[in-house]
Amino acid sequence: MTEQTSQIATVPDSDYVIFGGTGDLALRKIFPAFFWRFLDGQVTENFRLIIAAHHIVSRDDFAEKLRPNCEDAFTSGVANDDNFAAFIGLMNIIELDVVSGKGADNLAGLINEKISADRPCIYYLAVAPSLFGASCQLLQQADLVHPQSRLIVEKPLGHDGPSAKLINNEILSVFTEEQIYRIDHYLGKETVQNLMALRFANIIFESLWSNNHIDHVQITAAETVGVGQRAEYYDKYGAVRDMLQNHLLQLLCLVAMEPPSQFNASQVRDEKLRVLRALRPANSEDIVRGQYQGYEAELGRTSNTDTFVALKVFVDNWRWAGVPFYIRTGKKMAVRASEIIITFKRRPHDIFSTIGQSQKGDAPNRLVIRVQPQEGLRLQLTSKEPGPGGMRFFPSELNLSFGETFDQRLPDAYERLLMDTARGNQTLFMRLDEVLAAWQFIDPIIDMAKDTAPHLYREGTMGPADTLLAKAGRDWIDPSEDG
Ligand code: BG6
- Rounded to an integer, what distance in angstroms lies between the CA atom of residue 261 and that of residue 263? 7
| 442: helix, strand or coil | helix
Q: Which residue among the candidates 159, 185, 216, 247 is catalytic per the annotation?
A: 247
Mutational test site, ligand 1, from 187, 244, 247, max ligand atoms within 8 Å of CB: 247
CA distances in angstroms from 14 to 27, 45, 87, 243, listed in the order given: 20, 10, 14, 31
The stretch 44-50 carries a mean pLDDT of 97
Q: 77-128, pLDDT tens digit by residue?
A: 999 999 999 999 999 999 999 999 999 999 999 999 999 999 999 999 999 9
How high is the pLDDT of residue 23? 94
State which ligand 1 atom lies nearest to the alpha carbon of 246: 3
Mutational test site, ligand 1, from 223, 230, 234, max ligand atoms within 8 Å of CB: 223
How sure is the predictor about 381, in pLDDT bands with cuts at 50, 70 and 90? very high
CA of 371 to the centre of ligand 1 (A): 13
% of the chain residues with pLDDT over 70 = 97
CA of 468 to the centre of ligand 1 (A): 24
Count of residues in the chain:
483
Q: Which residue has its alpha carbon closest to ligand 1 atom 10?
A: 223
Q: Which residue has its alpha carbon closest to ligand 1 atom 5?
A: 242
For 137, phi and psi rounded to 5 degrees? -60, -45
- Rounded to an integer, what distance in angstroms lies between the CA atom of residue 16 and that of residue 49? 5
State which ligand 1 atom lies nearest to the alpha carbon of 223: 10
Mutational test site, ligand 1, from 30, 243, 306, max ligand atoms within 8 Å of CB: 243
What is the sign, positive or negative, of the torsion defined by CA atoms of 131, 136, 139, 140? Answer: negative
How sure is the predictor about 7, in pLDDT bands with cuts at 50, 70 and 90? low
CA of 223 to the centre of ligand 1 (A): 8
State which ligand 1 atom lies nearest to the alpha carbon of 225: 10
The reported pTM is 0.95
Nearest to 44 by CA among 115, 119, 147, 129: 119
Domains of the chain, start order:
15-154 (3.40.50.720), 187-470 (3.30.360.10)
**More confident of the two residues 153 and 353:** 153
CA of 402 to the centre of ligand 1 (A): 22
How high is the pLDDT of residue 44? 96
State which ligand 1 atom lies nearest to the alpha carbon of 331: 10
Q: 171-180, pLDDT tens digit by residue?
A: 999 999 999 9
CA of 243 to the centre of ligand 1 (A): 7
How high is the pLDDT of residue 1? 42
Q: 331-340, pLDDT tens digit by residue?
A: 999 999 999 9
The question of whether 247 is a catalytic residue gets the answer yes
Amino acid at 452: T
Checking if the pLDDT of 32 tops 60, the result is: yes
How high is the pLDDT of residue 3? 44
Q: 218-241, pLDDT tens digit by residue?
A: 999 999 999 988 899 999 999 999
Q: 440-481, pLDDT tens digit by residue?
A: 999 999 999 988 999 999 999 999 999 999 989 999 999 987
